[in-house]
Structure 1
Amino acid sequence: MSAQAKALQAKQQPESRWIDSIKVHAELIAAILSGVLILAGWLLDKNSIHSAAVASYLLAFIIGGFAKAKEGIEETIADKELNVEMLMIFAAVGSAIIGYWTEGAILIFIFALSGALETYTMNKSQKEISSLMEIQPEEAWLIRDGAEEKVHVSELAVGDLILVKPGERIPADGVIFKGQTTIDEAAITGESIPVSKQKDGEVFAGTVNITGSVYVEVTKPASDTLFQKIINLVQSAQSEKSPSQLFIEKFEGTYVKVVLITVGLMMFIPHFALGWSWTETFYRAMVLLVVASPCALVASIMPATLSAISNGARHGILFKGGMHLENLSNLKAIAFDKTGTLTKGKPEVTDMIVREGLPEQELLAAVASIESQSNHPLAQAVIRFAQKQNVSYSAPDQLEDVAGWGVKGVVNGKQWKVGKADFVGREAAFAFSGGKASELAASGKTTVFVEDEHGVAAVIALKDLIREDTKQALDLLHQEGIYTIMLTGDNETTARAIAKEAHLDTFIAECLPEHKVDQLKKLIKEHETVAMVGDGINDAPALATASIGIAMGEGSDVALETADIVLMKNDLPKIAEAIRLSKKMRRIVKQNVVFSIAVIMLLIISNFFQVLDLPFGVIGHEGSTILVILNGLRLLRS
C-alpha cells in the first residue's frame, strides 16, 4: 500500500467509526430527539401556540415512532399477523385523534426508548463476540521463497508457512514448525496462565505469541479455524430461541387479536351500558389499547436468554441455543464418560515394588529400555516415570513381543519379561511381596509384572488418575441435587474404586461405547432429563441420545459439532456453574412474566374504574417493559 493510500485510509477511519457509532445508536438518538420535540410541543402549547405545538408533536411521532412502525408493518406483512408494535401505533394515533397529542407523543417516546434499550441489550449480549472478532488478526507474515510477505489471512492455505513474532496474535490454526515460545490462549480457553509451546505444538488463531518468534505451518483455512467456529457457534446460539420464547411469540399473535376485539367492543358498550360519553368511551378504549399491550411479557424472556448465553461464552461455556440453556435447569442426572473426562486420560505409574536386594534404578532402566520400543499407553507411562526419576536407558539388545501377554527382552546381556501375571506365572506373581498385587488391583490399579532369571523382580501399578477438579465438580453437582453416574468399560473392581474416589453416586462397569446409548435411554426413563458428558469423539452417539450433550473437548472440532453445550476447557466445575446460570435465568424469567402480567391486570382494572389516565397508563406499561429488560440484563454479571 502506498503512503498516499495509507494516509487516505487513516483519514477515512475516524469518519467511518463516527458513522458506525451513529448507526449503532440510531434508535436512542431518535428517542432522545423525540423527547426534545415533545418538550418543545408542551412549551408551545403552554404559550397557546397550538399549531406549532401540534407540528412539534407530529415530528415527535414521526421521528420517535418510525423505527418501531417500520418493524411492526414489515413483520405484520411477513407473518400476516398483527403484533405489539402495531398495537402501540394504533394507540398513539388514536390518542392524537381525540386530541391527546401530548399523551400519544409520550407513548411513542417511551416505546422508542424501550426499543432502544432492547437493542442495547442485544448489542450488549453480543459484546463478547464483537470483542473476539476485533482481536481476530487480519494479516499474516507468509514465508514465500524464503522471504517474508505480509498477506491477508484469507489468502493463507493449508500447508503454508507463516512467521509469528513476539507480541503478535497468531493468524491461523496450525502447528509449530520451528522455534519455541509462550502463548496466551485466554481468548480460546479462558485460561489466564500462558502455555509453553515448542515444535509440533498446536496453536490457535487469535491467541497471543508472548516470548519467541515461531514458524507455524497452517493446518486450517481462515474460515475453518477454531476461533471462527466459536464465533459462529455463539452467534447461532443467540439467534436460536428457547421453548418459552417460542411459546410467548405464538401467544402474542392470539393475544393481540383478543386486545383489538376487546378495544373495539369498549368503544361502544360502555357508552350504552354505563352511560359514558363518547369522548370518555373512546379515551378509555385508547388507554386499554396501551395498557393491555403485552410488551413487557414479550420482553420477559429474550433479553434474559441472550444475557445468559453471553455470560456463559465469557466464562468458556458455549450453549448452542436457548433451548439447551433452559433445559439445563430441569436436569436431574448426569452420566460421565471416564477416560479424559473424570480422569486425565493418560495412565501414570503410582507404585513400583521391587524385589529386595535388586537396585530400583537398574530394574527401571531395564524396563524402560524394553518399553521404549512400544507405543502402548502403559509402556509410555513407564517411560514417563523413568524420565521423571532421571533414569537413563538405551535400546534393548534383543526384543520379542508376545501378543496379548507382554514383551521379552535382553538388556545388557540379561533376560527380562514384562507383562501380565500369567506371562510371569500367576501363582508367583500374586505371591510376590506378600500379595501386594492383589491389594493394588483392588484399589482400581492396573498391574504389570517384571521377571528376571531369578523370578518375579517387581510389580508396577498404573492408574488413569482422576483430575484434580473432579471431586470438587461432583460435590458441586450434588449440592445442586444432581445424581451422578459413571459409564466405563473398566471392570467392576476398578470402576468401584474410581467411583468411590471421585464421589460419584453410582457407576456402570464394562460398558462398551455401543452400550452407552442403551444405558442412557434407561437413565432418561428413570430421571427424565439426563445429560451426558464426554470427549465428543467416541461418545458422539451417547451425546446425541442424552437430553443434553456436554462436550469436554478442549475446544476440539468434534466437540463443537456434536454437543449441545461445549466447555472450552476440560473444566468440570463449569458444569455446576452452567446449571446455576440456567436456574438463575429461569428465576428471572419467572419474575419477569409474573410481574408483567400483574402490571397489565392492575392497569386494565384501574382503567375500567376510570382512575387511570393515559399518561400514567403509558408510564406504567412502558415502565414495566423497561424494568423486565433491565432485570434480564442482570444475567450479564458474573
Structure 2
Amino acid sequence: MKKLKMTTKLYFFGVILYLLGLVLMFSGFNSAIVTSLFLIATVSSGYHVIFEGFEKTILESKRTGRFMPNIHLLMSIGAVGAILIGSYEEAALLVLIFAGAHFLEEFAEGKSRREIKALLEMTPVKAKRIDDDGKASEISVNDVKIGDRIQVQNGDQVPIDGQIISGQPAINESAINGESIPREKGPGDNVFAGTVNGNATFMMTATKSNDETVLAKILKLVEQSQSHLSKTATRIKLLEPKYVTAVLILFPLVLAAGYWGFNWGLSVSLYRSIVFLISASPCAFAAAAVPATLSALSQLAKKGVLFKGGSYLSNLAELETVAFDKTGTLTKGEPEVTDFYLVDSKDKDKLTNIIFAIESQINHPLASAIASHFVPTERLQVDVSNEIGKGVQAVYGSKVYAIKKPSLFSEVSSLIDKKMRQFAGEGKTVVYLAENDKVIGLIALMDTPNEKSKQTIQFLKDQRIHTMMITGDSKQTGEAIGQFLGIDEVITNVLPEQKVDVIKQQKGQGKVTGMVGDGVNDAPALVTADIGTAMGDGTDVAVDVADVVLMKNDLSKFVTSYEVSKRLKKVVWQNIIFALVVVMVLVGLNFFGLMTIGLGVFMHEGSTLLVILNGLRLLKGNKDSNESVKKQTEPTLGQKMNPVIKG
C-alpha cells in the first residue's frame, strides 16, 4: 500500500514537471532546463513501468527458459528510443499516458475483484455463547464448537451455521442465496453464517464449525474462481509474450524498410519505428478477456451462482447436452399429495379429520406429506398402530380406519381399481383409505417438479440444447415427470455408475455435456461432465466435486448463468476484434506519416480502457432469470392431470 501511494505521488509529480516543461518550452526558456524537466518527468512517472518491463521479462525468461517479453518492455523501449532521437517531450508524454492508463486499468480490473472481495466483509468474527448455567460470553467464531448454544440479537449477523432452538426471527439471507426478502423462521429451521437477523432475538445450536459453514464454502469457491481463467483468457495470456516478441523482431525490419525501402531518412525511420512499437503493443488485446470474466463471475456470485473457475463459465456457452438428476433437482425432493379420491364425498370433512389425526402421529415422509396436505376442521384424538412396511390404522368411534398399500387389499371396487391403475401409470404412489376393511378412497402422492423446472427445460430447448433426465426411479415415474417437463430423453432405473456411462456416451459423440444434480449418487457424473452443476442444498460431496454451485435451489439461476456465459463470449470477441482493428489502423496510419508518439499512445491506451470498460458492463448483469424464466402459472403435475378431490 505504501509503495502504491509513493508511486502515485511520483506520477503526479512527473505530471507537474511535464506541464511546467511545456510552459517553459513555449515561453522560450533554456532548452537544457526544459529537457531536464521532461527527462525527470519520464523517470518519475514511469520508473515502475520501465522496472516492470525489464524485471518481469528477465524473471519470466529465467523461469520458463525462453524469452518472455511483456507490454511494459515495448513501452520502455519506445520511451528510450524517443529520448535517443531527441523527442524528450514525446518520451515523457508516452510514459505519462501509459502509466496513467495503467493506473486506470488496475482500478477498473480491481472493481470486479472488489465486488467479490466484499463477500469477505460479511464474515462474522464474534459469537455470543450461552453456557449451561445461562451465562453469556463473547467468543471468536473460530472457537465455536458444534452443539454450542448461541444467542443472536436483532440486527446482528448469524455467526455460525446452526438450528434455531427458540425465537421467531426474520432472516435476511441475501448473502447466501441472493434473495433480498427476509425469510421468517422458527424452532427447527436452519440458519447460516453471514446472514442478518432482522427483528427478534433468538437462540440457536451450532451445527457446523467455522471453516465448514456455507459462507466459508462460498468464499473458498470465489477465491478459486479468480485463479482459474477462461480458455480464451489463458490463450491470450500465453500468446502475449509471443506477440511482443514478434513486434520486437519487426521493429528493426520496419526501421530498415523505412530507411532503405521508403527513403524516409534515419531520423524519420527511427521515429516511425518507435511509433510502430507503441501502436502494435497488444495492451487492449491482453485486456480483452480477464476483466470481462472477473466481472461476470462477480455478478453471478452476487446472484448466488458460484463458479470454481472462469473456464467453466466460458464453456457453459458451448453446451450441447444437459443431463438432470430428477429428485431434488427437477423435483422438490419430497412427496406431496396430488390426488384424493373418495367413492362417496359426503363424509369428506370427517374423513379428512381422521386422515390428519392418523398421519400427523407417524414419522414417515409419506405420512408427513399427507398430514401437511389435509387441513382438519376438527382435531381428533385417535390411537394409531403402525405396521412397518404395510401402513397405519386407528379406531375412531366404532369403526377401524386404515391407510395402507393397495397390495394388502384383495377386494376393491372396479372404480377404485381403475383409479389406482391410472395414478400408478402416471408414476404416482397410491395408498388406499379403508373403513372396516372396505376401501372407500385413495390418496396419490408424487415428488412433483419444482416451480422453475418446466421453464428452464423449455429455455434450453429453445437454445437447441438436448435435455436429458437420468434417474434411478421407475420408468413410469420418470417418464411421467419427463413428459410433463418436456424433456427430450428420459433414462430410468439407472445406478450411479450408469449415470457416468450416459455422460461418457454423450461426450463420446463430441458433445459438450453438462450435468445437474444434488446427491452423493450424482457426484461421479458431475465429475465426468464437462460442466458439473450442483444444487446448493445438495450433499457436501456433490457441492465439492461440481464446477458450478447454485446456492439457492433455483434452476432459473442455471438459465442466468447460461445467458451471462453467452454475453461474456460476445463481449470478449467484441474486445478482441476491436483491439486488433485498432492496432491495424494505427500501424497503417503510421506508415503514411499520420501518427505521432503522443497520438499513438493516446489512441492505443484509450482503446485499452474501452475494452476494459466494455468488460465491466457484465458487472451490471442482465435482467434476472426470473424475467427470462417466468414464474410458474401453469398447474402443477398433479393439478394438471387430476383435480385434488373427486367423488
TM over 0.5: yes
Cα distance, 1:516 vs structure 2 = 1.2
Kindly provide the amino acid, as one letter, of the partner of residue 438 in structure 1: R
Q: Which moved more, 1:106-115 or 1:603-612?
A: 603-612
Partner of 1:421: 406
Partner of 2:583: 600
Is the 1:398–1:411 Cα contact (8 Å) retained in structure 2? no
Kindly provide the amino acid, as one letter, of the partner of residue 622 in structure 1: E
Cα distance, 1:58 vs structure 2 = 2.6
Partner of 1:90: 77
Partner of 2:21: 41
Cα distance, 1:185 vs structure 2 = 0.7
Q: List aligned pairs for 1:296-375, cutoff 5 A.
A: 296-356=284-344, 359-368=347-356, 371-372=359-360, 374-375=362-363
Which whole-Å CA distance do the structure 2 matches of 1:523 and 1:630 have between them?
38
Is the 2:535–2:543 Cα contact (8 Å) retained in structure 1? no
2:80 matched to 1:100? no
* Compared CA separation, residues 27 and 238, structure 1 to 2 (3 A): farther
Cα distance, 1:272 vs structure 2 = 3.2
Cα distance, 1:82 vs structure 2 = 1.3
Which whole-Å CA distance do the structure 2 matches of 1:635 and 1:369 have between them?
55
Note the residue ranges of structure 1 that are not aligned, 5 or more in a row.
Answer: 1-19
**Structure 2 SS opposite 1:306:** helix
* Compared CA separation, residues 443 and 29, structure 1 to 2 (3 A): farther
Which whole-Å CA distance do the structure 1 matches of 2:277 and 2:10 have between them?
24
Which whole-Å CA distance do the structure 2 matches of 1:430 and 1:52 have between them?
111
2:490 matched to 1:507? yes
Kindly provide the amino acid, as one letter, of the partner of residue 312 in structure 1: L
Q: Which moved more, 1:519-528 or 1:328-337?
A: 519-528
What root-mean-square deviation, in Å, do the aligned CA atoms of Structure 1 and Structure 2 show?
A: 2.6
Is the 1:530–1:548 Cα contact (8 Å) retained in structure 2? yes
Partner of 1:5: none
Partner of 2:425: 442
* Compared CA separation, residues 391 and 30, structure 1 to 2 (3 A): farther
Is the 1:181–1:209 Cα contact (8 Å) retained in structure 2? yes
Kindly provide the amino acid, as one letter, of the partner of residue 239 in structure 1: S
| Residue among 99, 102, 110 paired with 1:123 | 110
* Compared CA separation, residues 137 and 555, structure 1 to 2 (3 A): farther
Is the 1:369–1:396 Cα contact (8 Å) retained in structure 2? no
Partner of 1:12: none
Cα distance, 1:586 vs structure 2 = 0.8
Q: Which moved more, 1:35-44 or 1:307-316?
A: 35-44
Q: List aligned pairs for 1:451-490, cutoff 5 A.
A: 451-490=434-473
Kindly provide the amino acid, as one letter, of the partner of residue 245 in structure 2: K
Is the 2:75–2:278 Cα contact (8 Å) retained in structure 1? yes
Which whole-Å CA distance do the structure 2 matches of 1:255 and 1:146 have between them?
69
Which whole-Å CA distance do the structure 2 matches of 1:557 and 1:52 have between them?
69
Structure 1, residues 18-37: CA drift from partner, whole Å, max 9, x if none? xx7x8777766655554333
Partner of 2:278: 290
Which whole-Å CA distance do the structure 2 matches of 1:42 and 1:128 have between them?
40
* Compared CA separation, residues 327 and 155, structure 1 to 2 (3 A): same
* Compared CA separation, residues 472 and 255, structure 1 to 2 (3 A): same
Which whole-Å CA distance do the structure 1 matches of 2:381 and 2:24 have between them?
98
Kindly provide the amino acid, as one letter, of the partner of residue 265 in structure 1: L
Q: List aligned pairs for 1:152-551, cutoff 5 A.
A: 152-356=140-344, 359-368=347-356, 371-372=359-360, 374-386=362-374, 388-390=375-377, 392-394=379-381, 396=383, 398-401=385-388, 403=389, 405-407=390-392, 414-425=399-410, 428-429=411-412, 431-433=414-416, 435-526=418-509, 528-551=511-534
Cα distance, 1:575 vs structure 2 = 1.3
Partner of 1:61: 42
* Compared CA separation, residues 571 and 49, structure 1 to 2 (3 A): farther
Partner of 2:562: 579
Q: Tell me the TM-score normalized by structure 1.
A: 0.89
**Structure 1 SS opposite 2:521:** coil
Structure 1, residues 59-111: CA drift from partner, whole Å, max 9, x if none? 32223223333433443233112111111111111111211122122211221
Q: Which moved more, 1:123-132 or 1:586-595?
A: 123-132
Structure 1, residues 274-312: CA drift from partner, whole Å, max 9, x if none? 433221222122112111111111111111111111111
* Compared CA separation, residues 547 and 30, structure 1 to 2 (3 A): farther
**Structure 2 SS opposite 1:336:** strand
Identity of aligned residues (%): 40
Note the residue ranges of structure 2 that are not aligned, 5 or more in a row.
Answer: 62-67, 622-647
**Structure 1 SS opposite 2:21:** helix
Which whole-Å CA distance do the structure 2 matches of 1:209 and 1:26 have between them?
43
Q: Which moved more, 1:509-518 or 1:349-358?
A: 349-358
Kindly provide the amino acid, as one letter, of the partner of residue 291 in structure 1: S
**Structure 2 SS opposite 1:550:** strand
Cα distance, 1:148 vs structure 2 = 2.1
Structure 1, residues 389-432: CA drift from partner, whole Å, max 9, x if none? 3553546354433x4x545665666445433322112xx44724
Is the 2:109–2:612 Cα contact (8 Å) retained in structure 1? no
Structure 1, residues 585-611: CA drift from partner, whole Å, max 9, x if none? 111111111111122122223223333
Cα distance, 1:439 vs structure 2 = 2.3
